[in-house]
């Protein structure tokens, strides 16, 4: 439930939300394995360990470094302008904030009500001590440069903001500051001086850039996802297509993609999906399971087949509801996870059920990737077979086999 809201507001919100969100879509639980077949393994047998030392797909997120994505997360939003880019009198901090603050509701829905961003807007422009062009604020800026920018913003706002009350900080620049072009996330590096205000260390921050006017509210979900320890799913080495790994699936890839709901793997990693909602096939055998679409909170969310110490195949169901109303295709989405792969290098890769099909207008390659009833994904070398047996309005029934 989002933060310290009153009982009245909760009842009102419950009346407005679809019943399927509050209670979860009706779905069958994972069906038992065939008589005589080995039972599914413990979910922990499918929880890959991270090996990169930073944001990756390992299940063992270090929450002494990253923010635990649960309950109410208090964020201070401050607004900055610059000697060379003053905010015009007609530019309102409230109007600028409205571009991104709806991301709090989006994240709450996408987390099944497990995480709520309580954003307090301090609606006045504070002047940064240096010109906007002096901060080296461009792709490739170093952690130290980013920290210097954040430190100046916090110091400028400190006379009017008690930072000891907040878990993280959001910095919004004036539209005039074209040099502040993109939106990076700040995570404190343990053992360094960092940024301290009002006796509290600022461990997590998002410093917005002009791209907030393009991405809107889901930018909050993407960047705050980094403070939770999630990696980027798009390619840092853009090549022919910087979204070649996952297409428009998951907001950690293409922010404005057709299917921005977090992968079930991410929801499990963040604690929004319980172990009881995961079917794990780590040993040889087969399981038949009904997967409830990940856009809903209840039911079995995914089936996992590990193929090595850092790799696994995952199958989940996707439906055009909740965060995913703009889906290009629904069905059983299969992807490969590799927790040894760094952020921006393809730690998750979607398997395309229709690699030779031309995506519909407005859709990207991989957006039509889900498998339909009667279709099968096979990786013979890894001994993995995923068959889609049937589909209904709430999800797919699949049979997973590891040989």
pLDDT tens per residue, range 306-334: 999 999 999 999 999 999 999 999 999 99
Regarding whether 219 and 82 lie in a shared domain, the answer is: yes
Residue 9 lies in a domain: no
Torsion of CA 272, 275, 278, 283, to 10 degrees: 150
pLDDT, residue 40, reads: 80
Residue 13 lies in a domain: no
Instruction: Round to whole Å and give the CA distance between 109 and 97.
Output: 20
Residue 377 lies in a domain: yes
Mean of per-residue pLDDT scores for the chain: 92
**pLDDT exceeds 70 at position 4:** no
**pLDDT exceeds 90 at position 138:** no
Q: Which of 170, 197, 227 is the last residue of a domain?
A: 227
For residues 287-303, average pLDDT: 97
pLDDT tens per residue, range 44-77: 999 999 999 899 999 999 999 999 999 999 999 9
Estimate the crossing angle of helix 103-110 against helix 218-227, to 10 degrees: 60
Other beta carbons within 10 Å of 141: 15
- Phi and psi torsions of 146, nearest 5°: -65, -40
153: DSSP letter: H
Regarding whether 167 and 255 lie in a shared domain, the answer is: no
Regarding whether 249 and 222 lie in a shared domain, the answer is: no
pLDDT tens per residue, range 161-220: 999 999 999 999 999 999 999 999 999 999 999 999 999 999 999 999 999 999 999 999
Closest to 122 in 3D by CA, of 90, 185, 85, 74: 74
H/E stretch holding 357 reads none
Q: Residue 171: give its domain's CATH number.
A: 3.40.390
Residue 306 lies in a domain: yes
Regarding whether 27 and 95 lie in a shared domain, the answer is: no
Q: Which of 171, 198, 227 is the last residue of a domain?
A: 227
pLDDT, residue 1, reads: 41
For residues 291-302, average pLDDT: 97
Other beta carbons within 10 Å of 294: 31
**pLDDT exceeds 50 at position 280:** yes
Q: Which of 162, 194, 227 is the last residue of a domain?
A: 227
> How many domains in the chain?
2
Regarding whether 252 and 221 lie in a shared domain, the answer is: no
Structure token digits, residue 50: 């991270």
pLDDT, residue 30, reads: 41
Residue 106 lies in a domain: yes
Residue 256 lies in a domain: yes
Regarding whether 130 and 36 lie in a shared domain, the answer is: no
Q: Which domain holds residue 251?
A: 21-61+243-402
Residue with tokens 């096979």: 378
Regarding whether 340 and 319 lie in a shared domain, the answer is: yes
C-alpha pair distances (Å), 88 with each of 96, 160, 210: 12, 21, 16
pLDDT tens per residue, range 18-38: 433 333 444 343 444 444 456
Regarding whether 82 and 38 lie in a shared domain, the answer is: no
| Cβ(218)–Cβ(255) below 8 Å | yes
Instruction: Round to whole Å and give the CA distance between 42 and 287.
Output: 13
């Amino acid at each position: 439930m989002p933060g310290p809201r009153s009982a009245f507001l909760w009842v009102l919100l419950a009346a407005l939300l679809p019943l399927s969100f509050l209670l979860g879509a009706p779905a069958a639980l994972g069906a038992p394995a065939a008589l005589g077949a080995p039972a599914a393994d413990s979910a922990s047998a499918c929880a890959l360990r991270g090996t990169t030392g930073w944001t990756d797909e390992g299940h063992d997120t270090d929450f002494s470094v990253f923010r635990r994505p649960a309950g109410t997360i208090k964020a201070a939003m401050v607004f900055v302008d610059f000697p060379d880019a003053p905010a015009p009198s007609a530019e309102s901090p409230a109007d600028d904030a409205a571009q991104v603050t709806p991301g709090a509701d989006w994240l709450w829905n996408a987390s099944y009500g497990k995480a709520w961003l309580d954003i307090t807007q301090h609606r006045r422009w504070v002047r940064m001590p240096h010109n906007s062009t002096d901060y080296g604020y461009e792709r490739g800026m170093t952690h130290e440069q980013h920290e210097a920018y954040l430190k100046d913003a916090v110091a400028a706002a400190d006379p009017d903001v008690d930072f000891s009350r907040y878990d993280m900080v959001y910095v919004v620049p004036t539209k005039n500051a074209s040099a502040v072009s993109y939106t990076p996330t700040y995570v404190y590096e343990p053992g360094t001086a960092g940024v301290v205000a009002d006796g509290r260390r600022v461990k997590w921050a998002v410093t917005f850039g002009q791209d907030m006017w393009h991405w809107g509210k889901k930018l909050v979900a993407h960047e705050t996802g980094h403070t939770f320890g999630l990696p980027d799913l798009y390619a840092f080495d853009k090549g022919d297509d910087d979204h070649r790994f996952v297409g428009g699936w998951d907001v950690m890839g293409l922010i404005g993609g057709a299917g921005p709901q977090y992968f079930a793997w991410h929801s499990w990693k963040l604690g929004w999906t319980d172990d009881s909602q995961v079917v794990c096939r780590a040993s040889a055998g087969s399981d038949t399971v009904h997967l409830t679409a990940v856009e809903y909170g209840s039911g079995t969310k995914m089936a996992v087949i590990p193929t090595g110490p850092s790799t696994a195949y995952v199958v989940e169901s996707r439906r055009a509801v909740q965060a995913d109303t703009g889906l290009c295709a629904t069905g059983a989405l299969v992807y490969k996870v590799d927790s040894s792969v760094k952020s921006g290098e393809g730690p998750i890769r979607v398997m395309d059920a229709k690699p030779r099909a031309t995506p519909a207008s407005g859709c990207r390659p991989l957006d039509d990737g889900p498998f339909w009833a009667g279709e099968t994904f096979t990786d013979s070398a890894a001994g993995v077979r995923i068959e889609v047996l049937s589909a209904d309005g709430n999800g797919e029934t699949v049979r997973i086999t590891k040989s």
